[in-house]
Amino acid sequence: MLLPLGNLLKSATGSIKRHDVFKDEIELDEFDIVSSEGVLWLTKINMGIWANSKIDLTILCKCDRCLNSYNQRINIESDDIYYNFDYLGKNPETYDRIDSHEFFLIKDNMIELTESLRQNIFVNLPIKLLCDLNCEGMDKNSKKK
Ligand SMILES: [Zn+2]
């Protein structure tokens, strides 16, 4: 998910741009995202852009017990800094962190949110995926029929 920054980088520090996430906006290879809804706030800071998001996602998942597909809803909240090349040039000590998974850069006046969203989904998905907390699994279901 690439988000253009418009004039935000040229704006005064503290300027905020709001982006409403639309239904089909978030796409990731690993997940079948049915819908997304939420808000992203982009704040201009010294280092670049501070991105905060609050997004509700509905993801098509497979139940660990009965193996049926179901819609799993999760809320994700991200809080990331996207660094400006200019800032990095003046602050070489930050170079050490460039290879880390949580280090994001602004490219061509856009930020790429996919990696942050992916990490957030993994963190927020339940460890056990269940279509229903009381799902009785395949055996029970077949016995009922
Ligand atoms: Zn189930």
CA–CA separation, 67 and 140 (whole Å): 13
**Ligand 1 mean position, distance from CA 138 (Å):** 8
Residue type, 136: E
Task: Supply the pTM of this predicted model.
Answer: 0.85
Cα distances (angstroms) measured from residue 44 to each of 89, 95, 118: 18, 21, 23
Does residue 142 register a pLDDT over 60?
no
Other beta carbons within 10 angstroms of residue 15's beta carbon come to 14
**Ligand 1 mean position, distance from CA 73 (Å):** 15
Per-residue confidence (pLDDT) for residue 58, from 0 to 100: 98
**Ligand 1 mean position, distance from CA 43 (Å):** 42
45-49, 82-86, 126-130, 137-141: range with lowest mean pLDDT:
137-141
| Total residues found in the chain within this entry | 145
**Ligand 1 mean position, distance from CA 62 (Å):** 8
> What one-character-per-residue DSSP string does 2-64 give?
EEE-TTGGGSPTT-EEEEEEPTT----SS-EEEEEEEEEEEEEETTEEEEEEEEEEEEEEE-T
Q: Are 33 and 59 in contact (CB under 8 A)?
A: yes
Per-residue confidence (pLDDT) for residue 91, from 0 to 100: 83
- What's the token pair of residue 11? 């704006």
**Ligand 1 mean position, distance from CA 128 (Å):** 11
**Ligand 1 mean position, distance from CA 129 (Å):** 8
**Ligand 1 mean position, distance from CA 57 (Å):** 20
**DSSP label of 29:** S
Q: What are phi and psi of 46, to 5 degrees?
A: -55, -45
**Ligand 1 mean position, distance from CA 56 (Å):** 22
pLDDT digits (tens, 9 = 90+) for 128-141: 999 999 999 987 55
**Ligand 1 mean position, distance from CA 116 (Å):** 29
